[in-house]
Amino acid sequence: MQELLAYLQDPELVARFQRRCGLFLVGAAHPSRRRTGGHTGASVRAEGPRGQLRAVGQETNWLLHILFLFSAGLGHEIFYITCLPCIHWSLDPFLCRRLVNMWGLVMYIGQVMKDLLKLPRPVSPPVVKLETRVDAEYGLPSTHAMAATSISFTLLFSAPSRLQFQFEVGLLIAVTLSSLVCLSRLYTGMHSVLDVICGVVISAVILLLTYPCWETLDHLQLHTRISPIAVPALLLFLCYKYPDLDHYSTTRGDTTTILGACAGSSVGYWVNEQLGETFEPQGTLPVPLPTLTANALALCTGRFLVGVVALVGTRQIVKTTSLHVLYSWYRVPKNDHNARRRKEIEVPYKFTTYTAVGLVHSILTNRIFVLLGLL
């Protein structure tokens, strides 16, 4: 068993996968220089820590390169703040609520495990690393793999009672999306095979264990009087109790971002339930999937654009305001950007910012769509 685990953790296995996909290690470069590619493909710069040599890769299969970089982006904030809300705006708020709940649970468990186990990411060389932001984080489990698995299969398991669709097609889509995200973590050199497998397995176990409780949790979340107080308080407590490391890592901030969005959405969905305006599909469930016409596509695009502007605008306004208040409270110079890494500043500013984003997403956007004739 130890030999198998060591084999799956071996960075050479990741490097071999990269080479099979057309991404080759061609040398190392100083951070201020970029190596040019040969005639067989374009060069890609795989960055290392500031001031150190970093591996330089050369991709020869541009189609796979673009596919895997796009798939890797499905686990970043830009995807969560743009695409996930579309399920609420254009499909069914019920499904979006389920997704957000499971996303928050799975990601918190994955992030905490990562910082407790402290297993390193694949080393470079031999691996070509195409991302730098999360390189200071530990590797196992892959939270990209966990998020992709939980989101895809939560939607698959929840949708049959809400929407009419062929389950086999949904299963194929869920497996395809999850697989692409998992493989993208190998292609970008950010995780070992063991990291990805553990991420998928842990996420699957969480889904299986919680699935029988989903309806009970829905009822408690929407109909309990203390829900709008208890849920944000619990999530904020978990943010402050996040494991401390001996160096700065983005995991605590990312986890706070996710739990903040979950807190705001939970309160927002509770408010909608109390007001009797949930914006869920009308009629006998499961309802047919919306017909894709030119008019429906135009309305969907309009909702997407207005919604994203509302969420991004909320994010920028609340982030700037909360940082200004916290910097003043702790008497930190405004030009000290490293201060936002301090726990007493990072946790409240990120939690406040994304709680506001969750509230706007769940309460205001659909009402704005109604006023604008988009819903």
Kindly list the catalytic residues.
144, 191
What is the CB-side half-sphere exposure of residue 356 using CA atoms within 13 A?
18
As a whole number of angstroms, the longest Cα–Cα distance in the chain is 66
Q: Concatenate the DSSP letters of all residues of 188-256 into one string.
A: TTS--HHHHHHHHHHHHHHHHHHGGGHHHHHHHHHH-TTHHHHHHHHHHHHHHTSPP-SS--THHHHHH
Angle of helix 251-275 relative to helix 214-223, nearest 10 degrees, comes to 70
* Rounded-to-integer distance, Cα 257 and Cα 231, Å: 15
Is the omega angle on the peptide bond into residue 286 within 30 degrees of 0, that is, cis? yes
Rg (CA), the chain: 22
Which residue, among 302, 101, 89, 68, has the nearest Cα to 206 in the 3D structure? Answer: 101
Contact predicate 85/359, CB 8 Å? no
* Rounded-to-integer distance, Cα 79 and Cα 82, Å: 5
Which residue, among 118, 347, 143, 348, has the nearest Cα to 246 in the 3D structure? Answer: 118
Query: Bridge partners of 288?
Result: 164
Contacts of 301 (CB under 8 A, 6+ apart): none
Amino acid at 58: Q
Amino acid at 98: R
Give residue for tokens 């500043």: 345
Which residue, among 228, 207, 192, has the nearest Cα to 109 in the 3D structure? Answer: 207
Contact predicate 222/271, CB 8 Å? no
